[in-house]
Every structure is written in C-alpha cells, then in structure tokens.
Structure 1
Amino acid sequence: MNLEIRDLSFKYGSRFALKDVKIEVREGEIVSLLGPNGSGKTTLLKCIGGMLRPKGTVLIDEKDLREMKQNEIAKLLGYVPQRAINVLPCSVFDAVMVGRRPYVGWRSGKKDKEVVFKILKLMGLEDMALRSFDGISGGEMQKVLIAKALAQEPEILLLDEPTSNLDLRHQLEVLKIIEEIVKGGKVSALMAMHDLNLASRFSDRIVLLKKGEVYDAGDPKSVITPENIKSVYGVEATVDDNNSRPYVIPLKAI
C-alpha cells in the first residue's frame, strides 16, 4: 500500500510544528525522516498515526484516513513510539499480543498465538516471552514495542527512532529485520532517525526536515550532502562514498 501526505500542517499553540508537508511512501519502500531535534519528525508520525489532528490529508491507497474506522486504521498502520509510555505489569508475550486487538478484541485464538510466537522468534525475544514487560531493559523494551506493531500485521510501519536504547549490534539487527519485512512483503516503512549513516544504509529515500518543513527529499546520495548537513544541522562534515551509500564524518559545529 502507498502512503501519501498532502499539505499537512500542525500547530502547538500558535507555533507551527509542521507546515505544508508533502511526502509519499510507496509499497516496499523504506523512507527515513531526518532532521535535528524539534524539526517535526515525531509530530509528523503522530499526525499520520492519528494521535494528533493536523490540517491536511493523509491517504492510504488514495483513501482518506479521516473516512476510515479506527479498527480499520489499526490493521493498516503499525506505530512504534520512541519508548513505552504506560508500562503495564504483564508478560512480554501479553505485551506483544496487544497488537492483535484489531483482529480479536480481548479474546485471542490459536492463530493469534501463532502470530505472536512467530514474531517473538523473529525479534529474538522468544526466551523472554514469560518475563515481566516492566522488568526488562530499555533496549529489550524497544524490541517488544516493534514486535507489538508487527503483531498487527500492518501494511505500513511508522517507527519513531526504532534504534533508540539499542546497542550497535541490536541497532543493525532491528533495522535488518525491518528491511527484510518491507522487502519481503507488501509493506512500507516511514521511520524517524537520528543516525544519518544508519538511515543512509537502510533507506530507499530520505526526507530532510528543517523547522517543520521539508528541506530536501530524494535518494540518500542526493540528500545527505555536506551542504544540507551544514544548513540543517549547523555542522560541517565530509561525506564519503561507502558502497554507493553516503557516509557522514562530522567535523565541527558551526
């Protein structure tokens, strides 16, 4: 399914957090949102996911989300926040099972359990299925949040810094899983990222935000440039070529 954002704007009080944002995410594509803190990445994902009410239009395969029922949206969009907000004293298995609610309400069946076990194995979480969700590390909790979103079997993944709280090995592991899911099925992903080099490696396209507006968009090589990094981040950097992907070496803040 294709995701399209048209002329999307959002204000916190009188301040624009997003202004006239236009983005398209095609089926089988990973698009990364880049930009400094306060550029609107998280706000944009929340607007798409329905947590905030923006002006503008969000379309899935040309269908306006405002015309869709919440349960229908939950089957299409899987949202992963930066961190767990309300941590409940339940098992990891049950935390992931919550992702099946759009299909079963509060009563799960054999198929739902099979889906959850499959995703726990995919995410390397099967050995902690019975551990308490509120007793695991921040990195493990992040992987559980991703697993919960995958349990929804969504067509579109919205990921807000999916590698936050993860060490280097698990950052690569999680992004590789996301890449395999997107490329292996009819799924697309829009993810907010801070690490320019990880975004460069795993993204088909980059959307660079500055003060709530799209500053540049395109393939990683055309967007991740010394000029853009200087203008958007206020950092001088060199950008090398690494297997046809840009690799950023920051030099100094300006």
Structure 2
Amino acid sequence: MPRIAVVNRNKCQPKKCSTECKNFCPGVRIGDETITLDDEGKPIISEELCTGCGICVHKCPFNAIHIINLPEELENQCVHRYGPNGFALYGLPIPREGKVSGLIGRNGIGKTTALEILGRELRPNLGQEEPSTADELKEFFKGSELQAYFGRLDEVEISYKPQAIARLPSEVEGNVGPLLDEVDERGKTDQLVQDLDLEEVLDRELSSLSGGELQRLGVVATATKDSSLYYFDEPSSHLDVYQRLNVARTIRKLAEEGKAVIVVEHDLATLDYMCDYVHIVYGTPNAYGVVSEPRGVRVGINVYLEGYLREENVRFRSKPIRFKTRAPTSYQEREKPLFDFPHLTKSFDSFKLNVGGGDIFQGEIVGVVGPNATGKTTFAKLLAGVLKPTRGEVELNLEIAYKPQYPQTKFQGTVREYLMSRLSKFDQNLKIEVLEPLGIDEILESQIQSLSGGELQRTVIASCLGQSSDLYLFDEPSAYLDVEQRLRMARVLKRVVEGRNAAAFVIDHDVLAIDYLSDRLLVFTGDPGIEGNAKGPLEMRRGMNLFLQEVGVTFRRDPQTGRPRVNKPHSRLDEEQKERSEYYYTG
C-alpha cells in the first residue's frame, strides 16, 4: 500500500516543542533514520522507512504531521508534489472543447494547484524534485485524454482568472476602461462590460473598486482574451445572485463558441447552472488531493453531497448532505423583542439608504439578502455604530460583535495569540463550541499573516462568536469557504445564538446558507449604487419570494438530495413557478 508523510511546515514549531515526532518514533528508537531534522529543526520523514504507526501524528502538539495510506491505484500516479513531505496532487481535470468542466471539493485540497498546472503557472514534477520535461509529461499521460493536451501545452493560448482577485489593485494601476482595452483581443469588451453591468466603473481607478466589481472585472479581462482554454478560480465570490448568474452565462458563452473552460466554484447552484461536467476532488486538506474522473454535472454534484464515489469505492464523508425542501413554519413572535430598530436613512453623495423599522428576538437569526450596492453593509455598520444615520437614531443598550465584509488584520503573531488578544475568555467551552467545529484548533499555531482566505475568514468568524454579545452582525461569512465549511459555519452560528439567547443579522449571497440559517429575512431592494430600501424582517417564504422576484430567478428541487437548482429563464418550470409566485419553496 503506498504511503505518504506530509509535514505542514507553517504549523511546525520546533522551538516550541521537544521534537516529540522524532523522540517517540519506533523506527528511530531501533536505530533507523525514519525521522531526521533539517537545518531549521523541522522533521524530514522517510516514507520508505515509515511503518504508518501514526505515533508522530498524535504526539505532534501542533497537528503538523499527516501519515496517509493511499489506495493501490494511486501508486506512481502523483502529478505534482511540493517537495519532500509536501502536499501531493493526484490526477488533473480534463479540458474539453465546447464544454464547461467544474471542480468541486474542500479548500486546501489541490483545486487551485490543478488550475495552475493546466494554466502553465506551475510546471508539474510528477512527485520528483525537479520539474518534468515535456517528454516525461507526455509519457506520464500516455493513453489518457490529457496526453494530447500536454503534447501541445506550450503552443496553447490560455486565459486564467486567479482566485485572489483582491490583489489586482496592488499589481496593476490605472483606470478600468483603458486597462480593459489593453487586454481586449477579441473585440468583446463592450458586450462583456454590458453583460456584467460594469459600464459605470469604466472611468474609475482600479484601486477604488469593490470586491464584487473586481471579481466581475477579472471575469471580463479573462473572457476577452483570444484563447482556446479558459480557467476561472472561484468567479462568484462577493457577487450577488443576479451577478453570479450573469457570470455563469458569460462563462457558458465561451463554451458555446467552442472554447474549453474549467471552473472552480463553491456555490453549488452557480456550478450546476454553468457546467456540463464536474470533477470531484477528495483527500485530506493540506496533505493530498485526488481529482476524480468527470461526471455529468447533476450526477457529480449529487455524488459529492452523498460523500461516496461508487466507481472508485471511496467514501470521503461520513454523512450525506441534505437540504430543506419546505419553508419553515411562520416565525412565532415572542412576548418582547430583543430590540426594535426605528426607521433609518443614511445619505451619501450618490447613494441613499432607507430602512423601515423592525425588530429581532432572542435566539433569532435574520438573514439579510439583496443585490450588491443596495445598502446591506451600510445597515450593518449603522447597527454596529461604525456609521451614524442621517435620520433616525440607533439606541442599542446591547453588546455587539461585528464581522466585517472583508476579513483583514495587521496583527503579527499566531492565530492563538490573535484570538487571545481579542477575547476575554479563551477556555474549553470556546474550544468545544466554536474552535473545533470551525477547524480553528488545527491552525492555532499558524501565523495569522500566512493564512489563506478561507482560514482567515474562519478565524475572524471565531473571534466574533467568541465574544459574549447580545447581537452578532456577520457580513458575508461564507465568502472563501467551501461547501462543507459553509454548512459547518451555519450550524455553529445557530447553536451559539440559540444557546446564548442572543440574536444575529447575517448578510450573505449564498442562498443555501441563508436558507439553512435564517428564521426570517430582511430584504433589500432598489437601484444599486443609487438607492436601497430594506423591507422586513419577513417570514421566510414571503421574504424569499420577494427577494428572488426582484432578481427574476426561480429554483427547483433535485429529487435525490433536495438541493435547489436554478431554472433556466423562460423554461416551463420557471414560468409555472413565477405564475404561482413560488420562487424557491415549492412544497
């Protein structure tokens, strides 16, 4: 049985431990060099000598070591490895002309690495120390659909939208319009700008754009290049439902023009809407990942939710993921709300927000939905005291914890030190209630500045939930999280709010997360960037219908998993549900 040993060098802290991994290793005790130490005092584990006992895994105080027994069929199938005892990737997705292929899987499992390899950003080494030659790659993929691809890899024009779109302003300066003109190779910029509603930002500096505007700009810049292969890494982050579907249509048009497209995406509804095939990527985060064979999009997503690959005989999740199919019963108002907020207005130079009065009860979570640039974040900042209303007054004699839209910190130190600096209590209850379910216990000794977007998001969520507050405000907590992390986050948030008799407002664009979390909905409508109006909180069925009616989108249910699937515009189901005013819940 092939075995790999992976050491997470970011987590390994040799100055803070007694090298338990080496001292307790049975192989070392009998004189073998199963584990040696490098110049930094970090372990190097010999995979040939390792017996797979797992003692080093359990003894490491920083959870930095993984010893993994792999299926026999993966032996000699490693596509790329990040050095000795580094992350290993097995398999690659298959680009197909005229088709959109999706990648679905947990964070840290190799999806972005796969795109970087196919996009020539990273030269694969086939598990060796040096990058492989063209002849070695052709021989490795001989007999597979990827053989032809790697045979002409250096000749193929590739367009690649990276995941970290927020870095764009620090890498490129200038106005949006001229920058798009520079990269336009197909004469499609004007149409793409119109399709993705970017006309109003053409005269603005790149540095002034919001996360959603940067995301759509990245999609336009990628799609306007004259390439035969297009790769999009998480194109829906920070976009509202309407914008996500517009991006999905833009990506589908590339395939209709005969282009090959591969997309990494965590929003299942968007992934389902745009893809023809999906590859499931499974394994152990930050240790190894395996890219499965392609499946049809509906079957592939259902297999992922089930957690069992029948053909490969691999189970990668103990329980299947299921979704609600009916709206929750009407929210039963309690005798007295936790607080009432009055009618509020906030005026800026070119934007005005109107919020009708409302209330929220102990133990209640109110989902906040609506298009981007209609005032949702402004509303959260009004409640948090970050902004002062133009009219009305927010009088909250409550303790408030606020997680902003974009998780950022200049803190220098570990995750543990960061949390201890922000929380009055760092005890066993916090660990059991928040840290372990969110996976923060595994990164406590990691440097805060070295965290990925998803790790930082979970850390900031934990620091918010760790505060003893009456009201929690979360702005886009699902951004950068994978499907499983989103559902785990939702369960933790519900449990904390209900257990503490607190309340929460949660702003998010993931319809599934909002459906799972919310007792009622606060719905924002209006003219994006000009005027926003908040209605509610409303009972879930009424609120979801109002929200999706504004967007013009209906959802149907998959009969196997209950997951929502977007109906094609003007299809029979779409027209029937609109006629009944049932845009989401059909039961």
Q: From the superposition, tell whether residues 12 and 241 of structure 1 become closer, same or farther in structure 2 (CA, over 3 Å).
A: farther
Q: What does residue 440 of structure 2 align with?
A: 125
Q: 4+ residue runs of structure 1 moved beyond 6 angstroms?
A: none
Q: What does residue 113 of structure 1 align with?
A: 426
- Is 118-127 or 37-46 further displaced after alignment? 118-127
Shift of 1:97: 2.1
Give the structure with the larger helix fraction.
Answer: 1
Q: From the superposition, tell whether residues 19 and 162 of structure 1 become closer, same or farther in structure 2 (CA, over 3 Å).
A: same
Q: From the superposition, tell whether residues 127 and 241 of structure 1 become closer, same or farther in structure 2 (CA, over 3 Å).
A: closer
Q: What does residue 513 of structure 2 align with?
A: 198
RMSD between aligned alpha carbons? Answer: 2.6
Contact 2:369 2:547 in 1 (8 A): no
1:91 aligns with 2:400: no
Q: What does residue 25 of structure 1 align with?
A: 360
Q: How does 1:42-61 map to 2 (within 5 A)?
A: 42-54=377-389, 55-58=391-394
1:222 aligns with 2:542: yes
TM-score by length of 1: 0.78
Report 1 or 2 for greater relative contact order, CA contacts < 8 Å, sequence distance ≥ 6. 1
Shift of 1:201: 2.2
1:173 aligns with 2:492: no
Shift of 1:203: 0.6
d(CA) in 1 for partners of 2:504, 2:563: 21
Unaligned runs of 5+ in 2: 1-336, 527-531, 571-587
d(CA) in 1 for partners of 2:393, 2:565: 34
Which letter does structure 1 place at the counterpart of 2:341?
A: I
Shift of 1:228: 4.4
Q: What does residue 109 of structure 1 align with?
A: none
Q: From the superposition, tell whether residues 207 and 135 of structure 1 become closer, same or farther in structure 2 (CA, over 3 Å).
A: same
Q: What does residue 371 of structure 2 align with?
A: 36
d(CA) in 2 for partners of 1:155, 1:216: 20
Q: Deviations over 1:25-79 (max 9, x none)?
A: 1110010000011111111101111111113232xxxxx23xx6xxxx6xx1111
Give the 3-state SS of the residue equivalent to 2:554 in structure 1: strand
Q: What does residue 469 of structure 2 align with?
A: 154
Contact 2:356 2:535 in 1 (8 A): no
TM-score by length of 2: 0.36
d(CA) in 2 for partners of 1:149, 1:206: 21
Q: From the superposition, tell whether residues 166 and 220 of structure 1 become closer, same or farther in structure 2 (CA, over 3 Å).
A: same
Unaligned runs of 5+ in 1: 59-63, 104-111
Q: From the superposition, tell whether residues 220 and 173 of structure 1 become closer, same or farther in structure 2 (CA, over 3 Å).
A: same
Which letter does structure 2 place at the counterpart of 1:78?
A: A
Shift of 1:179: 0.8
Q: From the superposition, tell whether residues 99 and 252 of structure 1 become closer, same or farther in structure 2 (CA, over 3 Å).
A: farther
Q: What does residue 236 of structure 1 align with?
A: 553
Give the aligned length. Answer: 224
Contact 1:224 1:246 in 2 (8 A): no
Identity %: 24
Give the 3-state SS of the residue equivalent to 2:357 in structure 1: strand
Shift of 1:145: 0.5
